[in-house]
Amino acid sequence: MANSDGYIQYAAEAEEVLTDEEILVLQRHFEREHPNVRVQTRFNYAWGLTKGNKKQQQKHGIEMMHEIYDKYPERRRECMYYLAMGYYRTGEYNNARVHIERLLALEPSNTQARDLRKRIEDKLTREGLIGLAMTGGVVAIVGIAAAAIFGRKSK
C-alpha cells in the first residue's frame, strides 16, 4: 500500500528516528561486551546510531557499519542496506545510491532496497531542481546587476 507521498512503506524506517534513550540502551549493551563485542551487538549499535537525529551519531554509525562490512562477509547484505540508509539520513545521497545499487545488483527484487532507492533518487532529483533554481536565481541577479552597471555607463 502506498502512502500519500507515493512510497510503498518497505523502507519507511529511513525516515524514523531513534531517541537518545533508545540509542543509550544500545550503547550500554555495546559497552558491557567490550572488548569482545559480539557482531550482533556491534551491528545493533551501528544501526541505532545511523537512526539517531545527530549527524555525528549517524556518521559514527556509518563508520561502524563499514567496519562490520569489511570484517564479517556474512553481514554484507545487511550492511549495504544500512550504509545506504545511513548515507541517506546524512544527506549524502550519492554515497547512498552507490550502496543501494550494490545491494540491488545482488538482489534485484528486494522491495525494501527498491523503495529506499526510490527515496534516494527522489532526494537527488529534488536537490538537482533546487540547484538549478539557485543557479537560475544567481544568473538572474548577475544579469540584473550587469544591466544596471552597463545601463549607467551608456548614459
Q: What is the DSSP string of 6-62?
A: S-BGGGGGGG----HHHHHHHHHHHHHHTTS--HHHHHHHHHHHHTSSSHHHHHHHH
Q: Residue 74 gets which letter from DSSP?
A: G
Whole-angstrom distance, CA of residue 68 vs CA of residue 100: 17
Q: What radius of gyration, in Å, describes the C-alpha atoms of the chain?
A: 21
Report residue 40 as a C-alpha cell: 550482533
Amino acid 127: pLDDT? 83
Nearest to 123 by CA among 103, 93, 89, 81: 93
1 confidence band (pLDDT: 50, 70, 90):
very low
Amino acid 7: pLDDT? 47
Look at the block and give the residue holding cell 545511523.
Answer: 50
* 44-73 pLDDT, tens digit each: 999 999 999 999 999 999 999 999 999 999
Asked whether the beta carbons of 18 and 51 are under 8 A apart, the reply is yes
Asked whether the beta carbons of 30 and 45 are under 8 A apart, the reply is yes
Q: What is the pTM of this model?
A: 0.78
* 101-120 pLDDT, tens digit each: 999 999 999 999 999 999 99
More confident residue, 142 or 16: 16
